[in-house]
Amino acid sequence: MEEELEELKKLHQFYLYSDYKTGEIAKYVGVSKMTVWRWLKGRNKPNIKKLRKIRKYLEKKREL
């Protein structure tokens, strides 16, 4: 659980300083934009499967 929180914090920081759109992340992960927004604001937390999918998406985007 602690590891998930750290990953979510990293995601939030990365998102703040990048040009990624909430909708792009939501579409890739298979959730609504509102869900991603809630994750980023700390209102909800993604499960580990979704978190891994987000990480994979961000890694792909960084390579471009």
Q: Which domains does the chain have, with CATH numbers?
A: 2-63 (1.10.260)
The HSE-up count of residue 41 (CA atoms within 13 Å, CB side) is 8
Q: What percent of the chain has pLDDT over 90?
A: 17
- 37 confidence band (pLDDT: 50, 70, 90): confident
The alpha carbons of the chain give a radius of gyration, in whole angstroms, of 11
pLDDT at residue 12, rounded to an integer: 67
pTM score, two decimals? 0.69
Contact yes or no for 15/63 (Cβ under 8 A): no
Residue of 63 and 44 predicted with greater confidence:
44
- What pLDDT does 31 receive? 96
Mean pLDDT over 8-29 rounds to 75
Contact between 50 and 29 (Cβ < 8 Å): yes
